[in-house]
Structure 1
């Protein structure tokens, strides 16, 4: 089968580690099923895999990809793949399993014509969602959904600040927040990216660190050190800062005086559960909201998509079709 895979880690030039070519068809283990991939979404996780981050050296060659939608070959049903693989005996929220892993870390990923996953990791795809739309959801959109609604507990009428609006999770948080009746403010480094944030649904967009019109109920933080102080200052007393990433560094000043005096909450968030993926798809079906897709490419042109992702040359998701 055709697949896009990492041949070996290259921390300095991740795209040089990419190969697009033939790989063996998957053979599902007991309790697993094989999905014929119709569409697969790209994520920064794919670039980390090419760099060798989050994957043991002995796992290469590794097919990239966490997100996919396609057809379950065992049932013939249209499905979406939940990317979080829990241990065989785990029950409940998969993200809390200490032994959890994402597809393309231990098990071969989704940037291929076929992918094998545990049978519990396939979720019925609503007919209202295209394969391309559904393939955008399991990583970035699911992460944003959990941050906003499960971790921040955001409610209609509240104000949220989304830092680093050009990122995949941040862009999804903007769109989801607007659809759910939140007032959404966003930050981005360039005028073009701030304009894109407004198109995604932000009510206002600001330069990083800018003085805001008021305090916010919650901050969605994926940037880390570069925006941490601004995030802390932006919160109203009792506000909540939800963190799912630290792309600019993971050791910002704690600002403990502000934390305890204003009774702020800092909450970590990672991916989302299978149930939350179902809830996310239901929200999209009932609101009519759809992911912004920057471009769709055939699987054979995966290198073009990953190069654009690496350069930050997109607004929304890049999707590969098999």
Structure 2
């Protein structure tokens, strides 16, 4: 079958490990299903896989792609949930010590077919296209959990999103606006700030700019480059919800500010199957749809990877079959 895959780990030059070509058809274990992929979206996790982060060397070559939407063999349209846990685990699967994601132990979705446990294929709402549904399982699910499960925000309160154009950031903007929060966003360029405003941000600011007032919550995916600004932006008792650190670990934890102002720092990773189902229903009911910056056939995957590596994104990058 056709696939986009990582041939080997390449820490310094991730695109050097990227391949587009033939891979063996997947076998279908008992309790699993084969999904004919119609669309799949690119995530930062795919670049980490090319670098060899979070994957053992003996798992290469590895088909890339955490997210996807497609069709079961009986014609049912489905959306992938990429968190695969121990079948014996009960409760929140993101807390399962043995959990993994597609592309860590199991082959991913940038291919003609992907194989997942039957419970990881959720019904696709009719109102979402395959391209839109393919954005839901990683970036949008991460944003949904950060906002509605972890933050404790109430409608009418003010949230700050650090970074204006990535998949999680654009999802936070759209979900926050739809849920009735006042949405503020920082962005490195006028173009990125304009994108945030077009998606519903009430106000945008240059990176590290002094804000008109402090906010109730900050949503972090950047890390080192924005951490100090995030801590300074919070009201006493405010919360930072962090799901990534693309610029590296924070150089200072701001501990004095943390304890004196009684701030809270909460980590968030992906989301549960139930939360993905709720996200799909929320989008179907409200009409909120993901911002898709570009759509490319899988054969042109390298173009999408280059854009993400260079930070030239304007929403999600989606590959189609």
Same-fold call, TM > 0.5? yes
Please classify the TM superposition score into its range, dividing by the shorter chain length. Answer: over 0.9
**Distance in structure 2 (CA, Å) of the matches to 1:194 and 1:251:** 24
Offset of residue 289 of structure 1:
0.8
Does the CA-based 8 Å contact 1:189-1:207 persist in structure 2? yes
Number of corresponding residues: 321
Aligned to 1:87: 86
Q: What is the CA–CA distance in structure 2 between the aligned matches of 1:150 and 1:113, rounded to whole Å? A: 34
Q: Deviations over 1:249-303 (max 9, x none)?
A: 2243222222122111110000011111011111111111100111211111111
Is the CA contact 1:217–1:235 (under 8 Å) kept in the aligned structure 2? yes
Q: Tell me how far apart the structure 2 counterparts of residues 256 and 107 of structure 1 sit (CA, whole Å).
A: 39
Identify the residue that residue 106 of structure 1 maps to in structure 2: 105
> Cα RMSD between the aligned structures?
1.1
After the TM superposition, which of the residue ranges 107-116 and 42-51 deviates more from structure 2?
Answer: 42-51
CA distance in 2, matches of 1:241, 1:252: 16
What is the aligned partner in structure 2 of residue 310 from structure 1?
309
Could you say which residue in structure 1 is the equivalent of 2:207?
A: 208
Mapped contact 2:225–2:250 kept (Cα < 8 A): no
TM-score (norm 2): 0.98
TM-score scaled by length of structure 1: 0.97
Paired with 2:70 and 2:316, the residues of 1 have a C-alpha distance of 17
1:19 positional shift: 0.8
Q: Which position in structure 1 is the counterpart of 2:298?
A: 299
Q: Which residue of 2 aligns with 1:96?
A: 95
Deviation at 1:111, TM superposition (A): 0.3
Q: Give the structure 2 partner of residue 138 of structure 1.
A: 137
Measure how far apart 1:13 and its partner are. Answer: 1.5
Deviations 1:38-61 (A, max 9, x none): 100011111111111111111100
C-alpha contact 1:224 1:252 (8 A) present in aligned 2: no
Deviations, residues 211-258 of structure 1 (Å, cap 9, x unaligned): 111111110011111111111111111111101111112243222222
Find the counterpart in structure 2 of residue 283 from structure 1: 282
For 1:320, the equivalent position in structure 2 comes to 319
Q: Distance in 2 between matches of 1:242 and 1:123?
A: 27
Unmatched 5+ residue regions in structure 1?
A: none
* Map 1:1-322 → 2, pairs under 5 A: 1-73=1-73, 75-322=74-321
Q: Name the stretch that deviates more: 229-238 or 304-313.
A: 304-313
Structure 2, unmatched stretches of 5+, are none
